[in-house]
Structure 1
């Protein structure tokens, strides 16, 4: 453990905030010839040809996994796709273990699937991408995220949680309008324009529906403005912030938009240079609270007066070339391939599989 902390300090000293020039970690040629990766990702196949760019049911998910698989094939001796948790457990109980599990599996018919996947990976004893289960649990819980951020002096929206109908008897000590969404989950699941509630009666209806569906409700003061996210690579290295625009009311983003099943969403580099630096610094301050982590995204809401609030963080970010991680990397001058190679190499080095 002491060796790990020395490694983390060394990398932090080398890469803290993006400057005019940045050198990323790279995997050595010899290491590539010896590295065997298991690619754990929903819908992943051993593709020789690209799948449809937008699947009528799954949106861009298949093509995103193809993009990542294509990068990994250039970084390792072998890459073995695995598309389900059942197949993963069967594979890990038979045959030689891989050197590394590159896992971006975050959807399963179970509550808090990211924690389950991380726990299954940890049980194998094989180093894997991302964060340990306890860090993933913090990312899944948007309420705990905000309490942690507030404790560190970072601004967050006022909020409360409802875990039973009794929690909805009286309004909270902050005024509406309100925003109601599932306390747990990722990728804007359970979020749409009806999440915006103008009165406490509307909050009761929306939160009660979530409770009836087996969810806990997070109730917050609606934060007007623009969604801006900061991609962060292992080190930590903050990429250029990305502004995510949506045509929906209050600029909210839905799961279907993020999967390219519905139109009206676009991401682009955030243009406020001074505020970009503030957001990067805040993202790095928060990132240091959730280590170890190989890559993540810290999401903010920027108000018209340029004030901002931290909303959540994500440790199994979408790695599509069209999404925020790559938009921010590209605006920093980092290619999709170099971004993945950096946090893969960081993860390998952090867990003692290889040295950069």
Structure 2
């Protein structure tokens, strides 16, 4: 089968600059390229014909040349979607939407699923409506809004970003305004302020749709680190990154609870094919997404 692996590596293939651009890190992170190479290698090992292409304005023309239309209107290939988008708050939705319009099958979530999970406020609201535990939060536009009912410390992050962009741990209300202003100035969007859950961090990877397979749980080993939080700096700039333990050592009843919560989150947020749900477990053993 012909499989086009679509990613974003240069973020320049647009007609105009419009909306919030994808945040550019201080230095390129190596894991994205490594993941892409691994996917390409696995597909080729499976006997598939592959093409690596940019998820930009030239994408459909590139795909039409690689997998030309079938006379019987059957797709002659598919896209393995690794694209993160170029610009706009909902940039993760752009490549799936283009592919659906053009009639090209692809892996991963639909534009709806990406749109729901790109907005942390919407996804947290959906999770709560399905009984999924998630930390208390506020949406802030200035940092001077009421924090009544919020327990400090809190985590401050952009409403729409991923990859720990802008993630900050704030220990006292007096420092909150500065943290929120940084989000608004640097990312041009609301700040999500949610209670910090001090404890273990477990990642649950899921595969499937109607029948969902839960892959082995993974735990971030913070060791003796003072800040037990995966900020951008901790992920990509620190001399030593926190290691991941997989499979995580989790008691069976807690593991079952984590798996159930992860599957409920997957369904609440309209995910498809695969996803990862990150959970924190507080000192009493209560998990939160």
Q: Report the TM-score, using the length of structure 1 for normalisation.
A: 0.67
Instruction: Provide Cα deviations, 1:173-231, integer angstroms capped at 9, x if missing partner.
Output: 2231211111112111212xxx1112222111100121122021000111111211110
Instruction: Provide Cα deviations, 1:331-355, integer angstroms capped at 9, x if missing partner.
Output: xxxxxxxxxxxxxxxxxxxxxxxxx
Structure 2: runs of 5 or more not aligned: 11-26, 70-75
Shift of residue 37 of structure 1? Answer: 1.0
Q: Is the 8 A contact 2:123 2:269 kept in 1?
A: no
The structure-2 alpha-carbon separation of the partners of 1:209 and 1:114, relative to structure 1 and needing over 3 Å to count, comes to same
State whether structure 2 residue 36 is matched by structure 1 residue 36: no
Shift of residue 158 of structure 1? Answer: 0.6
The match for 2:118 among 117, 140, 154 is 140
Shift of residue 246 of structure 1? Answer: 3.5
The structure-2 alpha-carbon separation of the partners of 1:87 and 1:256, relative to structure 1 and needing over 3 Å to count, comes to farther
- Count residues with an aligned counterpart: 260
Give the Cα–Cα distance (whole angstroms) in 2 for the partners of residues 71 and 264 of structure 1. Answer: 26
C-alpha RMSD of the superposition:
2.3
State whether structure 2 residue 23 is matched by structure 1 residue 67: no
Higher relative contact order (CA 8 A, sep 6+): 1
Give the Cα–Cα distance (whole angstroms) in 1 for the partners of residues 238 and 100 of structure 2. Answer: 33
The match for 1:187 among 143, 146, 163 is 163
Give the Cα–Cα distance (whole angstroms) in 2 for the partners of residues 90 and 296 of structure 1. Answer: 29
Give the Cα–Cα distance (whole angstroms) in 2 for the partners of residues 136 and 83 of structure 1. Answer: 19
Equivalent position of 2:202 in the other structure: 228
Shift of residue 85 of structure 1? Answer: 1.3
Shift of residue 260 of structure 1? Answer: 7.4
The structure-2 alpha-carbon separation of the partners of 1:254 and 1:87, relative to structure 1 and needing over 3 Å to count, comes to farther
Higher helix share: 1
Shift of residue 94 of structure 1? Answer: 4.7
Three-state SS of the structure 1 residue aligned to 2:203 is strand
The structure-2 alpha-carbon separation of the partners of 1:212 and 1:124, relative to structure 1 and needing over 3 Å to count, comes to same
The match for 1:219 among 187, 193, 202 is 193
Equivalent position of 1:157 in the other structure: 135
